Each structure stands twice: as C-alpha cells, then as structure tokens.
Structure 1
Amino acid sequence: MTDMIRTTAEAHESTALPQARVVHADPDACSAEQKPLPDAMARKPVAEKSAAEWAYERLILYIQNFEEQLDSEHEIAMGFAGSDTGVMRIEGIGFFDPDIVTFYGTDAAGTKTQLIQHVSQLNVMLRALPKQIEDKAPARIGFRLVADLEQEQAAEQPDETANG
C-alpha cells in the first residue's frame, strides 16, 4: 500500500465533497449515488449549503435517476411513509432555508396537493404511476430541476465580456 501525501487544499476539499455509497443486488443497476454531481450542484461546497438546500439537491438526483428508469407509460409520484394518505404525483419541488423542503403535485384523485416537510423528518418513497393522459408524453420533472440549477448557476457567474 502506498502512502498518499495531500496538500492542505486537497485535504480541505475532500472534507467538503459529498460522500455517497450504494450496494445493489443487481450489479448493473444505476443509482443516484454512483453518478457525478452536476456542475450546478458542485459549485458550492456542501458545508456552505443549508440542510434544506442540500436535501433539495440530492432529491433532484434521486428523482432524475428514478425517472431515467421509467418507460413512456409512467410518471413519478411519491408515497407517504408512515401514513395512509396515498401517493402524490410530483409536479414541483422546492426548499426554504434553512430546513424546509416542499413538494407540489396532485393526489390519485387529481386534487391539488402540497407537502411541506422539515428536513429532519424527510422520508420520501418514489413510485411509478401510469400517466394521466394517454396521448401526452410523460412529465419528467427531474430533468427540469437540474436545468433550473444550471440556469441559476449561469445567472450567478459574472459576465466577463462586459469589461472587455
């Protein structure tokens, strides 16, 4: 075994990077923990994010990964753990610093639904439900969530051509 010498910057960076691990019965299974963070999520060290922001960003990864595995006849929904309130078709997700995550959607009957949850109580079960309208393409919110983070990152970067 070789010893690895790290600079102070490398040691600091490794403590700021998120750690994830997964073991799956199917060696070909692709999970969110195995994927690299999108640039929009990696731009800010984890230590600088609120619990709500970091939970929100990781939920985006799980939602996007789950949707990648769905066929064109299903959309993503979430079940409520420890409750008999059923499922909610996910149509939006947000966070409110420092510790609130919110889900927007509709229940099985089509009723407008919103779940507001403290990050310490966060417990989400992702489910696949048949699409509501047969001819319509399935709604894929995970990809929209990542695009929104990338757009936010682009807006925060200074325009270098302005000083030109």
Structure 2
Amino acid sequence: MKVGDILEPKIAHSVSMEPIIHTIQAPRIPKSRNDAEWMYERIARSINEFEGNLDPDQEVGARLTTFGPAEIISIDDVGYWGPDMIIFYGHDSKGQPAQLLQHITQVSVMLVAVKVENASPRRIGFVLMDKLEGEGDPA
C-alpha cells in the first residue's frame, strides 16, 4: 500500500463495475418559510391531531411549561410574527384574555384537555389547517 492509496477516494463497484450510488431522502423544507412559520405549521398540525382524540366535552388548552404547573390557557388561535416569534392567543381559567409571545427557541407548551366552557367545544385545529392550506399569512 502506498501513501497515495490512503488519500485516494475509493468507489465501490457492483459486479457490472458500475458505481453504487446511495441517495438520502431528506425531508422537504420549503425555501420560502422562515423558522417561525415552520414552527407554526408543526404546532398547528399537533393541535389538529390532539383535538382528534378529545371527548365531546373537551377542547384544547395549553399548560405553559415555563410559567409553572398551574398556568393553563384555553387556546383560541396560534400565529407567528416575523422569523422568530410564535404567538398563542387564548384566555385563562377566569376568562381573561391571554396572549403569549415566545421566541421559537423557547417554545415549550404541553397540550392538555380542558373542560368546555360553552355549549360546544371550539375546535381550532381545522381552522389552523385551513390557514396552512392556502389562506396566506396566518398571523
């Protein structure tokens, strides 16, 4: 073995002496999306899936993990702002409006089932999915 043999790249050949080419399928990330928009899409899809498992007398809520175990809000909508902010719109257990703006690097939200406050549960997952599928800017 010569020194040049170690530094030269080797190509594996099949029986027919054609190079073996390996391809890797990477997930498609749309080039036009910024980080916040991409995070928004994943949150919207997660909420939609979570709502599919709720009882008729439940709706989606969120335990804001950075604010302690007792802080739960009912989520009315989700949006994003610019390249790096996620916004949760909702209300707290006393019915007061709540809005959480978080940098995408700090988002830690646990989806929880909360008791329905009105006659029927609000299902925001399908609304969020509609926004993803063509209504443009969801913020």
TM class by smaller structure: 0.7 to 0.9
Give per-residue Cα distances to partners, 1:58-100, cap 9 Å, x unaligned. Answer: 0011100100000110010000113236101000100012000
Q: Using the aligned pairs only, state the percent identity.
A: 34
Write the distance in 2 (CA, Å) between the matches of 1:119 and 1:46: 18
CA RMSD of aligned residues (A): 1.9
Indicate the residue corresponding to 2:130 in structure 1.
147
TM-score, length-scaled by structure 1: 0.65
1:60 matched to 2:44? The reply is yes
TM-score, length-scaled by structure 2: 0.75
Among 78, 82, 101, which residue is 1:93 paired with? 78
Count of matched residue positions in the alignment of Structure 1 and Structure 2: 116
Write the distance in 1 (CA, Å) between the matches of 2:133 and 2:67: 35
What residue ranges of structure 1 are gaps of 5+ in the alignment? 18-44, 154-164
What residue ranges of structure 2 are gaps of 5+ in the alignment? 1-19
Among 102, 116, 123, which residue is 1:117 paired with? 102
Choose 1 or 2 for highest CA Rg. Answer: 2
Write the distance in 2 (CA, Å) between the matches of 1:108 and 1:76: 13
| Structure number with higher relative contact order (C-alpha < 8 Å, ≥ 6 residues apart) | 2
Give the conservation status (yes or no) of the 8 Å contact 1:94–1:101.
yes
Give per-residue Cα distances to partners, 1:81-121, cap 9 Å, x unaligned. Answer: 13236101000100012000000000011000000000000
